Amino acid sequence: MTNRSSKNLRLKIILIMLTLISSLSQANIAPVEKHGQLAIENGQLVNQRHKAVSLAGPSFYWSNNGWSGEELYSKQVISNIRQQWQPGIVRVALGADYDGSYLFFPEDNLRRVTEVIDAAIENNLYVIVDWHSHHAERNIEQAVQFFQLMAQRYGHLPHIIYEIYNEPLKDTDWHSVIKPYAIKVIEAIRAIDKDNIILVGTQSWSQDVDISAINPIKDVQNIAYSLHFYAGTHKNELRQKAQKALDAGLALFVSEWGSVSATGDGAVDYLETEKWLAFMKENKLSHCSWALSRKNEEAAMFKTDASITGPWPDEQLTENGRYLKKIISNWGY
C-alpha cells in the first residue's frame, strides 16, 4: 500500500469513528434536552428551533384504584422504560371517571400521577397529563382545579403537555358541549401557563377531528387536537377524516392508539398498524400507544406475571408489548 493510500484509509477510518461518536452522542441526548420548548406552528408540532418534531412513547393505563394499572405508576417504571424503550414521551392517564378514580380518591390518584410526572421530568422526557374521562363536561370544576394545580406545579417547565379531555363520547356534541368545556379549561391553564401544549379531545372517542376542523378553538396558541385509533377497528375511513383535518390546518396529536381492536382485545393487526405508522410518519404526528399495564387483555404491554417495576426481558411482554416496544425504540425523536 502506498503512503498516500495509507493516509486516505486512516482518514476514512477517523471520519467513520467521528460519525459513530456523533451518532451515539445524539442518541444519548434526552428528548427535552434536545428539543426544549415545544410549540404548534402552521398545524405542526415543532421544537425550540422551529423544526418539526414527532415523538413516540407509551401511555399508562387508567390510574383508578383497583383497575390493574395503578401498580405501574412509579419512578422505577419510568426509569426502566427510558433505558429499555428510548421513548420521547410518556402519557399519564389520570382516571377521572368511574369507581376508584380521582373524583372519589383524589389523594391516591394524584400521588400516582405526580410520581410519574416527576420521574419523567427527572429523565428529561415529555409527559402528557391526561384527564382520562368520557364525561368530563359533568365535572368541569374538578377538571379546572386539577389543571390549575398542574400548571402551578409544572407550567414553568417545557416537559408538560396537558390533555384536557381523553375521549368524549359519540353523542357528546363538539360545538355545544366539548368546545365550551375546552375553552373554560384552557382559560384556566393559560392564566398560569402561557405556552405549553394543550391537547383537546374530539367527538366520538377523539376520532371526529374533521368536525373540530370546521369550528376550531380560535385565538389560543399551541393547541392541538387528539386523534385516537385502534388498528383492529379503525382503518382508512378514519385516516381520511384525519387527513381532512390536517388539510384544513388543524394540528393533530395521536395521544392514544392501539394495535388491537377498540375493545382492548383481539389479535394484533400488523397490516393496519403499519398503514397507520406510515400515515403518522408522513404527517410527522406524535403518538402514545396503549397501554402500560398487566391487565389480562391483548392491549396490555406486560404479561400478568411481569415485574411491576422492570426491567423487563421480552418474555415478560405480551405480543402487543413486544411490537410496541420495537416501534417506540426505533421511532427516534
Alpha helices in 175-258, H assignment, sequence order: 179-190, 203-206, 209-214, 236-247
> Which DSSP string do the residues of 167-188 spell out, in sequence order?
---TTS-IIIIIHHHHHHHHHH
Helix, strand, coil percentages (3-state) for the chain, rounded to 5, are: 45, 15, 40
Nearest to 131 by CA among 114, 145, 143: 143
Three-point CA angle 153, 186, 230, nearest 5°: 95
Element spanning 35, H or E = helix 31-35
Q: Is 274 a catalytic residue?
A: no
Q: Is 167 a catalytic residue?
A: yes
**Cis peptide bond upstream of 213, omega within 30:** no
Catalytic annotation, pick one of 163, 167, 272, 297: 167
Dist. CA 259–CA 89, nearest whole Å: 18
All three cell numbers of 65: 384504584
Residues whose CB is less than 8 angstroms from the CB of residue 186 and which lie 6 or more positions away in sequence, other chains included:
164, 198, 200, 217, 220, 223
Measured in Å, how far apart are the chain's first and last C-alpha atoms?
43
Map grid coordinates 368520557 to a residue: 134
Catalytic annotation, pick one of 256, 272, 297, 298: 256
Active site residues: 167, 256
